[in-house]
Amino acid sequence: MTALSYDDAVPTEPPPSRWTFPPVDDAEPEGPVAVGGDLEPGSLLCAYRSGLFPMPVGRRNQLGWWSPDPRAIIPVDRLYRSRSLVRSMRRFHCTTNQAFDEVVQGCADPSRPYGWINDDIREAYHRLHELGWAHSVEVWSGEELVGGVYGVGIGSFFAGESMFHGATDASKAALVHLVDRLRQFPSALFDVQWLTPHLESLGAIEIPRSEYLQRLAVATSAKAGHSWESPD
């Protein structure tokens, strides 16, 4: 695996958002903090830096901005790797940013329950990827893409948006690969939004929103560059 470095090209900062997001400190713990706005690159980056992430809300699929309390994260020093996962990973090869759109498409499979990744979401994160902010980890079995994860990286912060698998343990392999990159930064923060039984089985925990925001401020201001563009 190619090591992380601090001298990669800096991602392109887009024009600032024309929206002002409300503060999240005292927001309701479960509902959206705001509804509306847009998915322009400047809006997305402003949201992540503020502790928010986008997800449709309601039957009309309005654009909602969420900041749950507590917040789920994966501590990069405690990702659980079972013996079966270690064995499974020998069957796979992982890369980064080699098939970003294909990974998003895999995550957007309409047959998946509770699917929320529509055309607008795909296009928005494609633009972020082109600017150097959104990244993917791909998992291959031979020449076949069998799993992956994508999200947004700012400094030593990574917001995991979604993952998919087409082979047993492929999405877990993507997480292992991603965590191995992030753990080289002392202030790394791996956000996974909400705790699920699956993520909890891998070592995810919940922390208070107040703690999350403190750690977010440190991580997003870190002068850390990921060698995302280097093949693995």
Is the pLDDT confidence value at 48 over 90? yes
Distance CA 206, CA 50 (A): 18
Mean pLDDT of 73-77: 94
Question: Worst-scoring range by mean pLDDT, 3-7, 82-86, 207-211?
Answer: 3-7
Q: Any idea which of 13-27, 53-67, 153-167 has the lowest mean pLDDT?
A: 53-67
The answer as to whether 194 is a domain residue is yes
User: Region 171-190: what's the mean pLDDT?
Assistant: 92
In a domain, residue 84? The reply is: yes
The pLDDT-based confidence of 3 (bands split at 50, 70, 90) is very low
The number of domains in the chain is: 1
CATH of the domain at 144: 3.40.630.70
Query: Is residue 50 one of the residues assigned to a domain?
Result: no
Residue 47 in domain: no
Residue 115 lies in a domain: yes
Q: What is the mean pLDDT of the chain?
A: 89
- Is 53 domain-assigned? no
Residue 203 lies in a domain: yes
Residue 75 structural domain: 71-220
Residue 210 has pLDDT above 60, yes or no: yes
Q: What confidence tier does 231 reach under pLDDT thresholds 50, 70, 90?
A: very low
Would you say residue 11 lies in a domain?
Answer: no
